[in-house]
Amino acid sequence: MKKTDFSTLKAIFINCTLKKSPSKSHTRNLIDVSAKIMKSEGVDVEILRLADFDIPVGVQPDMTKEGYDKDDWAEIYKKVMAADILVIGTPIWLGERSSVATKLIERLYAMSGYQNDKGQYVYYGKAGGCIITGNEDGVKHCSMGLLYALQHIGYSIPPQADAGWIGKVGPGPSYGDTEWNGEKIEPTVGFDSEFTNRNTTFMSYNLMYLAKMLKDNGGYPSYGNSRKDWDDGTRWNFENPEYR
């Protein structure tokens, strides 16, 4: 079987840990697994932590116009728009995605009304997925909310678009830990999880396949989904069902 060439793709992973760099991030450990897979296939990969930037909460493109002194969102948005793939990584807190992940979704949503040159919403033609880590239940719950939000604003979601790892309920070692309470742990926590490794691999390749198909075909055709055409009056006639 001929191997797919993914070298034209660019992916961005946004780590929504609550910690600023250089603090240790268990979510970053699992992000690195997917990023390594994509890099091995020639994808241009960038990883950043949202907590390292001054990003106010809000659903406006520029929150300095809403009273905030500084907003680095324009820099992040530029990177997001340059990428064919977006993967959001988040830890689980109280069964939910992190507050930083929610802030990221809100700021992505702030731009979702913009349009591409076809009159489609601006994230059309891009693929999205998520990575979840934690010491409590919630991987599927957090994935459900993130993937719904991404598709709602225009991202395309492939099969098996999420991957995650959770440890035992309660205090304990987290993904990527090599010691706990001063005692060395072997093997590295989570690295031998076949379930996590399988799902992370499937997610990575499905994101690459979908992004490649979308890019090679110029995204989605604009027939039937163009906001520009709709506003110009070229819309479905609900009384006489034929596109006019």
- 5: in domain: no
Q: What is the pTM of this model?
A: 0.94
- For 38, list phi and psi in degrees, rounded to 5: -65, -40
| Burial status of residue 170 (CB atoms within 10 A of its CB: 0-12, 13-18, 19 or more) | exposed
- 4: in domain: no
* pLDDT tens digits along 72-97: 999 999 999 999 999 999 999 999 99
Q: What is the mean pLDDT of residues 189-202?
A: 96
State the residue range of the domain holding 64: 10-231
How many C-beta atoms surround the C-beta of residue 198 within 10 A?
Answer: 12
> What is the pLDDT, as a whole number, of residue 237?
66
> What is the pLDDT, as a whole number, of residue 168?
85
How far, in Å, CA of 120 to CA of 220, rounded? 9
Is the Cβ–Cβ distance between 178 and 184 less than 8 Å? yes
**Residues paired with 14 in a beta bridge:** 48, 88
Helix (H) or strand (E) holding 74: helix 73-82
- For 207, list phi and psi in degrees, rounded to 5: -65, -45
Number of domains in the chain: 1
> What is the pLDDT, as a whole number, of residue 36?
98
- CATH number of the domain to which 186 belongs: 3.40.50.360
- 163: in domain: yes
* pLDDT tens digits along 8-42: 999 999 999 999 999 999 999 999 999 999 999 99
Q: How far is CA 208 from CA 43, 72, 202, 211, 235, in A?
A: 8, 28, 10, 5, 33
* pLDDT tens digits along 128-165: 999 999 988 899 999 999 999 999 999 999 999 999 99
- 1: in domain: no
- 81: in domain: yes
- 237: in domain: no
- 74: in domain: yes
- 221: in domain: yes
27-48 residues labelled b (16+ CB within 10 A) or e (exposed): bbbbbbbbbebbeebebbbebe
The SS3 call for residue 168 is coil
| Burial status of residue 221 (CB atoms within 10 A of its CB: 0-12, 13-18, 19 or more) | exposed
